[in-house]
Amino acid sequence: KAGVTQTPRYLIKTRGQQVTLSCSPISGHRSVSWYQQTPGQGLQFLFEYFSETQRNKGNFPGRFSGRQFSNSRSEMNVSTLELGDSALYLCASSGRTGTTGELFFGEGSRLTVL
Amino acid sequence: GENVEQHPSTLSVQEGDSAVIKCTYSDSASNYFPWYKQELGKRPQLIIDIRSNVGEKKDQRIAVTLNKTAKHFSLHITETQPEDSAVYFCAAPPSGGSYIPTFGRGTSLIVHP
């Protein structure tokens, strides 16, 4: 079974630009969640999608958005990039519909904003 | 929402020593407490989890203990090895209708050979 796949793995943008990141979950998993990881800040939750619906959203500005397609693949978009958006963006999929269960993470997309 | 505090943020031990990482949480009605390990440059992966109907769970050199009354749970690693060096994250159950656990800020464990 293929794991969670994220693309691109690395990207460099400049302030003011926008970026789209993609996440393909494990086959059969319907829940996809996104996290921002920066040194010392742990895993900051961005949002979670289930069956194309956003179920939960973290405390990030509206410049951060996402969506999920009918095949469960998900994208997140960050508009008007700021230097502080430089981070590793991780997505995770889960096969459980309830409140417990293992999260399977992708290897992440490392974004550098210059 | 849930508030998870994880300590220490950095832990340095000699190979063969034991390491303990502790997390406290504020409130939850759920019963699932996982621990994730993230090696340098790699993805976080689940290493052990515990449900509230047990107080301790072991898997070879790692164990997790849970005290629901005091609202804390701990990861114990015995006979540490250099390959145990990584960042460890605890997670507490979601609350308030959320389906996503809240993660601690992570503990960077360094095992010196």
Interface test with B, best of A103, A104, A109 (most B CBs within 10 A): A103
Residues from B contacting A (CB-CB < 8 Å) are 6, 9, 30-32, 34, 36, 42-46, 49, 51, 89, 93-94, 98-106
Give the C-alpha separation, A36 to B51, whole Å.
Answer: 27
Phi and psi for B19 in degrees, rounded to 5?
-130, 140
| Distance set, CA B84 to CA B13, B43, B46 (Å) | 11, 15, 14
Q: How far is B64 from chain A (nearest CA, A)?
A: 16
Is the CB of A41 less than 8 angstroms away from the CB of B45?
Answer: no
Cβ(B65)–Cβ(B77) under 8 Å?
Answer: no
Angstrom CA distances, B87 to A44, B46, B95, B101, B108, stand at 15, 12, 25, 18, 4
A85 backbone dihedrals φ, ψ, rounded to 5°:
-85, -10
Peptide bond connecting B82 to the previous residue in cis, omega within 30 degrees of 0: no
- How close does chain A come to B104, measured CA to CA in Å? 7
- Do B83 and B73 touch, CB atoms closer than 8 A? no
Pairing status of strand A109-113 against strand A87-94: antiparallel
CA of B90: how far to CAs of A40, A79, B35, B87, B96, in Å? Answer: 14, 31, 5, 10, 19
Rounded mean pLDDT, B14-36: 88
Q: What SS3 class is residue B26?
A: coil
In this predicted model, what pLDDT tens digit does every residue of A79-102 receive, in sequence order? Answer: 999 999 999 999 999 886 655 678
Mark yes or no for CB contact B49/A41 under 8 Å.
no
Within 10 angstroms of residue B82's Cβ, the number of other Cβ atoms is 10
Reported as a single tens digit per residue, the pLDDT across A31-85 is 999 999 998 778 999 999 999 999 888 899 999 999 999 999 999 999 999 999 9
Which residue of B6, B27, B42, B43 to mutate against A (max A Cβ within 10 Å)? B43
Q: What is the spatial order of strands in the sheet that A74-78 belongs to?
A: A5-7, A19-24, A74-78, A64-68
Average pLDDT over all residues of chain B: 90
Q: How far is B111 from chain A (nearest CA, A)?
A: 19
Q: How confident is the model at residue B107, as a pLDDT? A: 96
Say yes or no to pLDDT of B33 above 60.
yes
What residues pair up with A67 in beta bridges, in sequence order? A75
- What is the reported pLDDT for A100? 66
Q: Give the separation between CA A63 and CA B27, rounded to whole angstroms.
A: 30
